[in-house]
Amino acid sequence: MIRVGPLRKLLCGRNGNTGGSRNPVPTHAAGNGEHVAATIESPSRPNGEAVAAVPARAAGEFQTPGRFNALDKLATLVATAVPVAALTAGVWLAWDNSLYWQDIVIFLACYIPSALGITVGYHRLLTHRSFRCGPVVRALLIICGATALEGPPIEWVANHRKHHAFSDEHGDPHSPHVGHGTGWRAPLRGLWHAHLGWVFGDGFANQRRYAPDLFDDPVIVFIDRTFLLWALVGLAIPFGLGYALTGTLTGALLGLLWGGAVRILVLHHVTFSINSLCHFFGRQDYATGDESRNLAWLAPLSLGEAWHNNHHAFPTSAAHGLRRRQLDLSWLLIEALSKVGLASDVVTISSDRREKKRCGPSADPRSPSCADRNDPVELLGLPADASTEAEAVA
């Protein structure tokens, strides 16, 4: 998730790929005319639900590690550990009454755009094509996502699409339920792997296979290749805000601490909690064939991403909070962009479709009795034909 992929891109070549399959999967035209990856032919799970047929370790399924893979992992370790040290310093300062209102303002001013860049930009726009927008808005959203330091956009999208294709099955990059042994230690191993351990492995999805459409978008390719630049911009902004609000170097460094390192740490672990906690704790309202859960207390911090069972039931939906009291700040932004004409083809899910997938209180979400499973396109997490899959709002 937070692997600093452009180290490979800058040193190994255009796509940072030193081997493996370079051929994209077949494409077809979506309802909006864009070419997207075709659905992988699928066998059925025991409950009849389609899953991708390619074995988890098939050739071309994983991004081939480059010659600088060790350096990449070191960068991931640094990006993970430094914010933890920064949070320790922040707690000490707060305990010593050295936390000022400027620090809180800078943290929020940097956290919210960065988080929206992930939830709205990386996730709902690029991964699932839940809405469309012009190149300027698209670039701003993805740049904000890059400042979160969760990895370049194409890498992030490829991993997340693969997660949907193999959700909680062999091949899922970060399932807490598969391949972690038995006994009481297995859940702990699974939660660690899903939360953070997987980013240090070599199980990243093949970008040419799972995100071929993004290589045709010059805006996304440019931001992907210059990811490190935007990560540094995300640190320079809180430093500048700290200086602007206090007029001192100390204020600037405190701004970097709270709006940079602490903000990155909090957002990382909120995102990681979607992968781990939201596949382990919470409630399941819809039949999805996996262990995705809605975790209400995490929804405000994640800007709506913690309505995870809702999302797995309807991956292309622009809204993850599907009930009146399910707060989804990311959806509010998309809705606002739509109302002022900056977003179009916004995917919403009708109440009839929601009811067809809803499970009763005692229903097993893996049971075939829960009708209307995810169709293959939704399972893969790729865009579907808007004419049959969604209702667009103006």
Dihedral over Cα of 274, 277, 279, 281: its sign: negative
Question: Tens of pLDDT along 84-117?
Answer: 666 676 666 666 667 789 999 999 999 999 999 9
d(CA 47, CA 364): 11
Lowest mean pLDDT among 65-69, 214-218, 325-329: 65-69
pLDDT value, residue 154: 96
Percent of the chain with pLDDT over 70: 66
39-73 residue pLDDT tens:
333 333 333 333 333 444 455 665 555 544 555 55
Q: How far apart, in whole angstroms, are the C-alpha atoms of residue 128 and residue 14?
A: 25
| Nearest CA-CA partner of 375 in 356, 392, 351 | 356
DSSP string over 307-352: BHHHHHHSTT-S-S--STT---HHHHHHHHHHHTTS-BSEEE--HH
Angle 243-244-248 from CA coordinates, rounded to 5°: 35
The mean pLDDT of the chain is: 77
Q: What's the rounded mean pLDDT across residues 262-282?
A: 94
378: confidence class by pLDDT, cuts 50, 70, 90: very low
* 354 contact partners, CB below 8 Å, separation of at least 6: 286, 313, 314, 322
Residue 309 to residue 321: CA distance in whole angstroms: 10
Give the pLDDT confidence of 20-33 residue by residue, as tens digits: 333 333 333 333 33
Within a 10 A sphere around the Cβ of 359, how many other Cβ atoms? Answer: 20
Name which of 314, 348, 323, 324 is nearest 334 in CA terms. Answer: 348
The pLDDT, as a whole number, for residue 198 is: 83
Amino acid in position 138: R
Q: Which residue has the higher pLDDT, 165 or 73?
A: 165
Which pair of tokens denotes residue 91? Answer: 């707690």
In this predicted structure, what is the pLDDT of residue 183?
A: 83
Q: Which pLDDT belongs to residue 329? A: 97
Distance separating alpha carbons of residues 110 and 114, to the nearest angstrom: 6
Give the span between the Cα atoms of 94 and 100, in whole angstroms: 8
Cα radius of gyration (the chain): 20
Give me the residues paired with residue 392 across strands: 347
